[in-house]
Structure 1
Amino acid sequence: MKKLLFIALFIAAPLTQALEVVTIDMNKVFENYYRTLIENKKLAKEKDITESRLKEMQAQVYKLQNDYQTLMRESMNPVLSEGARTQKKQDAEAKATEGQAALKNLKFFQQNLQKEAVGKRRTITAELTKDIQKVVDKYAVDNKVDLVLDASGKSVNGVNLVIYSKNSLSITDKILAKINKGHEDFVNKIMNEKKAETDKATK
């Protein structure tokens, strides 16, 4: 009987060693990481500059199109001499050529702008995620955690991978505190600015 009891306890022993599992909202951590906030401000500034340049190029195209139309109308003005009308038509053709070149440059600029923006965002995201991963890994080792689940992750069907978990299992705030240590004032400043913008937009 004792032998059977010992065997039963031996078999059940591994099952009593509970797996240490925690969850983290990686989206929240990433979006509130001070380095992410810094990069977002840089990207926003760059976007303003490129949009300004884009508007200038668009205005140039519109102007050339209007100049072409004006010159074409003038080239058909019977009041003008034949020589003057011919000159107007030649000027119009020159504007048309210039306009086509400007339009081509505009499209090229737009295409490259989009590619560069996507590529830069992907590079930044990978770099910052790597930073966060290091902090999470160290936390897991220091606290003897066996498994860390991303509560913000979704399946291919758009369903949350973590259907339910206790709030006490979340280490989101702990990781945020670690990665933002020494930068709390900056983070709070950005958060307050965002809140003010949101409040203003909803009024």
Structure 2
Amino acid sequence: MKPFVYITTILCALSITSVYSQQVLKIGVVDLQKAFNDFYKTKEADAEMKSKVAAFEKERQEMANDLNKVGEEAKKMHDAAQDKTLSEAARAEKQKAFEAKAQDFQAMQRKFQEFQYVRTKELEDRSQRIRQNIIDEITKAILEISSREKFTLVFDKSGKSLSGTNVLLYCQDVKDITDEVIRTINATKPQPKAASTSP
């Protein structure tokens, strides 16, 4: 999950100055990857995006089939225009028809390419917006829990360094708030409506 790759902490580190030199640090950890994956909104978003991508692929394939069909027709018309058994006038007529079909093909090709670019960008932008909203909700829950528990620092134990290794390699006597975060964010899940018992 790319938005979390470079996240190593959720809370800003409090300045450790002489004022806090005698203060015992209270450190917590959270598995952001697990929280993200177990959030009901992540699963809903994945299902929604899969549906939208499937619809896009279906429309794209239909357009591609139409484009290929026109391309094949244009090729046949081009070959017909080269038929030496036809009179010059007949070949000229077929050449004219081929050029018109070729223009249709080029117009369809431009439309197809534009469709792919626009729709792909729309899907990517929507996916990023949804993902960011989910991250913001998880972060809010972490901040609330951390403030309530009076943590000095909270680290993401699923965070990766630029080399691909875990940022947090070892921790002892720290509280893992992952399960609490997951319970908090999933507490907002709407309950399914009860089936009607009316006759």
Which TM class, normalised by the smaller chain length?
Answer: 0.7 to 0.9
Q: Please name the residue that 1:190 is paired with.
A: none
Give the fraction of aligned pairs with identical amino acids, expressed as a percent. 26
Q: Which range moves more in the overlay, 63-72 or 76-85?
A: 76-85
Which residue of structure 2 lines up, in the alignment, with residue 71 of structure 1? 77
Tell me the residue number matched to 2:110: 104
Q: Give the CA RMSD over aligned residues.
A: 2.5
Give the whole-Å Cα distance in 2 for the aligned partners of 1:54 and 1:167.
54
Q: How far off its partner does 1:73 sit?
A: 1.4
Give the 5 Å matches for 1:158-173. 158-166=164-172, 169-173=175-179
Shift of 1:166: 4.8
Matched residue, 1:55? 61
Measured in 1, the distance between the counterparts of 2:145 and 2:96 equals: 74
Equivalenced residues, count: 174
* Aligned 1:3-152 pairs, distance under 5 A: 14-15=21-22, 17-152=23-158
**Which has the larger Rg?**
1
In structure 2, runs of 5+ residues without a counterpart are 1-17, 193-199
Higher helix share: 1
- Spell out, residue by residue over 1:108-137, the C-alpha distance to the aligned partner (whole angstroms, 9 max, x if none): 222222322222222112211111111111
Higher relative contact order (CA 8 A, sep 6+): 2
Q: Which moved more, 1:147-156 or 1:63-72?
A: 147-156
User: Is the contact between residue 27 and residue 174 of structure 2 (CA under 8 Å) also seen in structure 1?
Assistant: no
Residues 137-183 of structure 1: per-residue CA shift (max 9 Å, x gap) = 11112222221101122223333211123596321122112211264
Aligned counterpart, 2:9:
none
Secondary structure at 1:90's aligned position in 2?
helix
- Structure 1 runs of 4+ with >6 Å offset: none
What's the secondary structure of 1:22's corresponding residue?
strand
Sort the Cα spacing of 1:80 and 1:166 in 2 relative to 1 into closer, same or farther, 3 A: farther
Change over 3 Å in CA distance of 1:59–1:49 after alignment to 2: same
